[in-house]
Amino acid sequence: MIAHLRALFPPFDWHRVIVEPWSADPAISLWIVLMGFFVAAACGLVGNYLLLRRMALVGDAISHSILPGLVLAFLIFRHTNIWTAFAGALGAGFATVLLIEFIHKQSRVKADAAICIAFTVLFAAGVVLMSLLETKGSFHIDAECVLYGEIAFVPLEPPVVWGGIGLGPPSVLRMGGMLVLVLVLITAFYKELLVTSFDPGLSRSLGMNTGLWHYGLMGVLALVVVSAFEAVGAILAVAMLIVPAMFAAQLSNRLPVRLGLTIIHAAVSSLLGYHLSVWLQCSTAGAMVVAGAGLFTAAWVAGLWHTAALRLRSRNS
């Protein structure tokens, strides 16, 4: 039994795990770590607002509804590229949010159950459509890629060349652009997102359209998740939405600080996760989430310890 387990974990060889990835072919390591960072940071920043609005499950729902979105986009446009994928995912994202609200309002189903019904049904519809198209031989999506992503293949993409200079793999550049977009939107509309998340009643009394901000956030969520999709898949994208934000929530009760911590968490978990995957020779995206969860656990324990220490000090004084 123990021998079996030991066989799963190769010995930790400093040179093989830490030095070699950055000396043998640093570009491969760089693009993978950068992609992991972009995905976790963009998802995590949006995830902070999902947590504040108690909408963590909606992130789950949207990431699953992307599958039927991609298939439907193919049916409508008759081919697949990144733009049809964006259109399909965006449509699917809004359809999911609307379906959840419809089920919740028109029946006595509670919100959490409505979310579960909506996204499992949409995901199932996607599976049915996909297998229908596959038997006709006209369409193929790698199911493994949908579920787990293929971040390790990112460096193999033909690089984007601009003015004779290779800039990098297109999916990494796209994800980087998405992170910049999220950062710009959060910075520009910080006060609008803050007040509509904290006090929707006040926001509407001030004449703000809270529905518009809600759907705007959902739109950005759908865009970010579809960009992250090919790297980390539908399931791990949910972790990327929630884990960095939860980590930040353990350490700070100021939103700007939390957003900064989310970015730090994204960078560290991507780097740690990459080396973990080199060490264990396992799925890179999975290892990044495991590393992120490890950081969250450490922050949580540190938070508990800190509270206990404060309590002890106040009791002694």
Partner 1 sequence: MSASGTDPALPLEIHDLTVAYHKKPVLYGIDLEIPAGKLVGVVGPNGAGKSTLIKAIMGLLPASSGWVKVFGKPYRESCHRVGYVPQRESVDWDFPVSVMDVVLMGRYGRLRLAQRPTRHDREIARECLEKVRMLPFANRQIGNLSGGQQQRVFLARALAQESDLYLMDEPFVGVDAATETAIITLLRELQSRGKTLIVVHHDLSSVREYFDMLVLLNMRLVAAGPTREIFTQEILQATYGGRLTILSDVAQAIGEGG
Which residues of this protein are in contact with partner 1, per CB under 8 A?
Answer: 52, 188-192, 194-195, 197-199, 201-202, 204-208, 249, 252-255, 257-258
Give min distance, CB of 107 to partner 1, in A.
Answer: 12
Closer residue to partner 1 (CB): 202 or 309: 202
Closer residue to partner 1 (CB): 80 or 252: 252
In eight-state DSSP terms, residue 18 is I
Q: Which residue has the tokens 């969520």?
A: 221
Give min distance, CB of 297 to partner 1, in A.
Answer: 21
3-class SS at 167?
Answer: strand
Phi, psi of 107 (to 5 degrees): -130, 180
Residue 8: count of CB within 10 angstroms of its CB:
9
Give min distance, CB of 217 to partner 1, in A.
Answer: 15
Closer residue to partner 1 (CB): 220 or 236: 220
Q: Name the maximum alpha-carbon separation found in the chain.
A: 76
Give min distance, CB of 39 to partner 1, in A.
Answer: 24
Terminal-to-terminal C-alpha distance of the chain = 52
Closer residue to partner 1 (CB): 255 or 285: 255
Closer residue to partner 1 (CB): 141 or 183: 183
Closest CA to 21 of 234, 281, 267: 281
Q: Which helix (H) or strand (E) holds 203?
A: helix 200-205
* Reduced 3-state DSSP string for 23-89: HCCHHHHHHHHHHHHHHHHHHHHHHHHHHHCCCHHHHHHHHHHHHHHHHHHHHHHCCCCHHHHHHHH
Give min distance, CB of 127 to partner 1, in A.
Answer: 35
Q: Which residue has the tokens 């081919």?
A: 79
Amino acid identity for residue 306 in this structure: H
Which tokens hold the place of 9? 């974990």
CA distances from 154 to 27, 31, 42, 185, 209 (A): 11, 7, 17, 27, 40
Closer residue to partner 1 (CB): 135 or 314: 314
Closer residue to partner 1 (CB): 173 or 193: 193
Closer residue to partner 1 (CB): 204 or 306: 204
Give min distance, CB of 113 to partner 1, in A.
Answer: 18
Phi, psi of 186 (to 5 degrees): -65, -35
Give min distance, CB of 37 to partner 1, in A.
Answer: 23
